[in-house]
Amino acid sequence: MRVFVLNKRGKPLMPCSPAKARLLLKEKKAIVKRRTPFTIQLTIATGETKQPVSLGVDTGYKHVGL
């Protein structure tokens, strides 16, 4: 499970783990933006860098995997 993250200006960043999100919320470095899907918005300034993400599709016999 991943938690979606928005920067201070509302632009999407890389998702984080629920444990990291709990830590940011506890330290008041983030606020809850949406509950479904669970999204937090940072209240501190951060960098704008993102990692490249690729999606692979496995068309199996019975199930399709992503």
Both tokens assigned to 38: 């669970």
Q: Say how many C-beta atoms besides its own lie within 10 A of residue 40's C-beta.
A: 22
- With H, G, I as helix, E, B as strand and everything else as coil, classify residue 26: helix
Are 5 and 42 in contact, with CB atoms under 8 Å apart? yes
pLDDT value of position 23: 97
- Name the residue ranges covered by the structural domains of the chain: 1-47
pLDDT value of position 54: 81
pLDDT value of position 49: 78
pLDDT value of position 63: 76
Both tokens assigned to 62: 């019975």
Residues of the chain with pLDDT under 50: none
